[in-house]
Amino acid sequence: MRTRRSVPPARVLAAVLLTAALAVTGCSGAGGASGGSDTAADRAAPADQRAVAPEGAKQGASGADGAGASAGRATAPPEAAAQHVIRTASLTVRVKDVPKALAEARATAENAGGHVGDETTTRDDEGRERTRVVLRVPVERYEEVLADLEGTGKLLERRAKAQDVTDQVVDVESRITTQRASVARIRELMDRATRLSDVVTLEGELSTRQADLESLLARQESLKDRTSLATVTLSLSETPVEKAAKDDDPGFLDALAGGWDAFVTMLRWLAVAVGAMLPFAVVAALLVLLWLKAVRPRLPRRPEPVPAPGAPGPLPVFPSASRPARGDSGEDTEEGGKG
């Protein structure tokens, strides 16, 4: 039978101590490694978090903005584009006093923040005045000013026109922005140019584009003036004198008045005719008087005609009393015949 070998106690103690030392060393190394890794992870974590956190925050913010924008687009109505309209109107009003109505129209335009433009005043053969004035008033007070001008008298005619020029305004603004950018690029190229030929070419191009820009700016200013101020052309005329209406059936007094008017008119025309002929009559009378008093006596008189020698003289004329009566002469004649 086998017998167990006894291990010396010294060896056993050395083996136990070695095992314990190895165990302690392994635990300390593991703990140190784990502790070092934890420390490194702790140090690296903030940097990673700092690097990752802004991106996440940005993504979250962008997501929130996108969601908010989409929600806003879904809920809020789209903003309407500003409209640019040119408004013009023409009014013809009959008034009793043109200067007074014109003063009121001027005051209305100035109180509304506008001004008076062209003005023309004429007068007809009957002495009635007629005035045409152009008023520029703000668009916001356009309807109010029209109502005030219509109330100055009797409205005879009204014409209003509205022209939408929003497309033109937007187009001009866009072209101005593009032209300004083009001018800026040309100036940058001029600053970088080194050769004289390039500078001359760029200066010519800059002048052309600058002129185009100024033309666009002038057009923009014109559109702004025409859309911000409405144009009202006001024509004022005086009220004609109304004649009294006459009865259709004239009476005795009307006939008498008409006859008297005709008689007076005839006398007036006769007086006019006599007055027109009077100078000629006076001149004719003076000529006749001059002929009779001065010219005719100086003219030679014609000699009276002398009778011829053998010519019989004039027959004698017997008085009517010496002549026999018709009956007596008849009897004598008969007696003479008998004898």
Nearest to 139 by CA among 213, 89, 182, 104: 89
Nearest to 95 by CA among 159, 155, 143, 145: 155
Q: What share of residues in the chain are helix, strand, coil (percent, to 5)?
A: 65, 15, 20
Contact 116, 219 (CB under 8 A): no
Q: Which residue has the tokens 């007809």?
A: 124
Q: How confident is the model at residue 336 (pLDDT cuts 50, 70, 90)?
A: very low
Q: How confident is the model at residue 150 (pLDDT cuts 50, 70, 90)?
A: confident
pLDDT at 320: 53
Q: In the predicted model, is pLDDT for residue 232 greater than 90? A: yes
130 strand-pairing partners: 122, 237
pLDDT at 337: 45
Cα–Cα distance for residue pair 226/173, rounded to 1 Å: 16
Retrieve residue 231's tokens: 């144009």
The tens digit of pLDDT for each residue in 25-41 reads: 444 444 444 444 343 33
pTM above 0.85, yes or no: no
The tens digit of pLDDT for each residue in 96-138 reads: 889 999 999 999 999 999 999 888 888 887 778 899 999 999 9
pLDDT: is 170 or 240 the higher one? Answer: 170
Cα–Cα distance for residue pair 241/253, rounded to 1 Å: 25
Q: How confident is the model at residue 240 (pLDDT cuts 50, 70, 90)?
A: low
Which residues are CB-neighbours of 86 under 8 A, at least 6 positions away?
162, 163, 165, 226, 227
Q: In the predicted model, is pLDDT for residue 335 greater than 90? A: no
Amino acid at position 214, single letter: E
Contact 186, 209 (CB under 8 A): yes
Q: How confident is the model at residue 43 (pLDDT cuts 50, 70, 90)?
A: very low
pLDDT: is 46 or 190 the higher one? Answer: 190
Give the 3-state secondary structure of residue 24. Answer: helix
